[in-house]
Structure 1
Amino acid sequence: MIVRTLAECEQTERRVKSETGTWESTRMLLKSDNMGFSFHITTIYANTETHIHYQNHLESVYCMSGNGEIQTLADGKVYPITPGTLYILDQHDEHLLRGGSEDMKLACVFNPPLTGKEVHDADGVYPLETEEAEG
């Protein structure tokens, strides 16, 4: 059995902050845990925008608190995000994730699982697992 608290994980290298300053993510469950998916608590900072295009991963996201919106770039549709909203990027959807008037706290599940060090590249992509990413 694996038991971890968010507070404990936030004090370790499992807490990753974006270079852009728009988000931070505490990766509570990673590939090395051998569960077949990873689980993260991510904060999207208020009044920010992040371009994301997970070409190598599928993601499910549940909003626990705060507010914002997601805009799919293929069709320009905008979806509000508030507590209780679940969105699923089941088609590797390229999108803009915007923080609203307050920070959004999100619970995120990735498949395949992340190794823990990933940050978005210039195209909004997390790389598929590499030796460097595991480092």
Structure 2
Amino acid sequence: MIIRDFNEIIESERDRVVSDAKWTSVRMLLASDGMGFSFHVTFLEAGSEHEFEYKNHFESVYCMQGTGSITDLATGETHPIKAGVMYALDKHDRHILRAEEELVMACCFNPPVTGTEVHQADGSYAAPEQKPELEEA
């Protein structure tokens, strides 16, 4: 059984708290936990916009707090995001996530992330067996 306290992680386990441009993710479960998926609580800053395409991972996301929208770049469809809404990127969907208010999201990734990933230039994480490509300066 794995027991983790969110508050203890944000206070002491810096290797499980990842930040990037206008978002922070608290990694509650990682690949090393052996569950077959990773679980994160992610905070997206109000007014921020993020373009992602997890072409090597599937992701499901549940909004716990805040408002925003998600746009599927393949179809152009935009859907509102608010507390209680879930979306799943079942086709490695390239998308834009916008936070009108701070969004607090519960996220699961399959395959699980290791906690050391960084977003590549195209908005994806490298496949687990790949080394990340470096962005041009």
- CA RMSD of the aligned region, Å? 1.4
Please, what TM-score do these two structures have when normalized by structure 1?
A: 0.92
Tell me how far 1:119 sits from its aligned partner.
2.2
Instruction: Extract structure 1 runs of 4+ deviating beyond 3 A.
Output: 130-133
Is 1:103–2:102 an aligned residue pair? yes
Q: Partners of 1:5 and 1:131 in 2: how far apart?
A: 31
Deviations 1:93-118 (A, max 9, x none): 00001111x21000000000000021
Is 1:82–2:77 an aligned residue pair? no
Q: Partners of 1:132 and 1:15 in 2: how far apart?
A: 21
Aligned to 1:23: 23
Aligned to 2:135: none
Q: Which residue identity does 2:109 align to in structure 1?
A: F
Structure 2, gaps ≥5 residues long: 133-137
Deviations 1:71-98 (A, max 9, x none): 0100111010000000000000000011
Structure 1, gaps ≥5 residues long: none
Tell me how far 1:25 sits from its aligned partner.
0.4
When residues 132 and 91 of structure 1 are mapped into structure 2, their CA distance, relative to the original with a 3 A threshold, is closer
Q: Partners of 1:81 and 1:16 in 2: how far apart?
A: 23
Q: Partners of 1:8 and 1:128 in 2: how far apart?
A: 29
Aligned to 1:57: 57
Query: Number of residue pairs matched?
Result: 130
Deviations 1:39-82 (A, max 9, x none): 00001111011110000000000000011110010011101000
Identity of aligned residues (%): 50
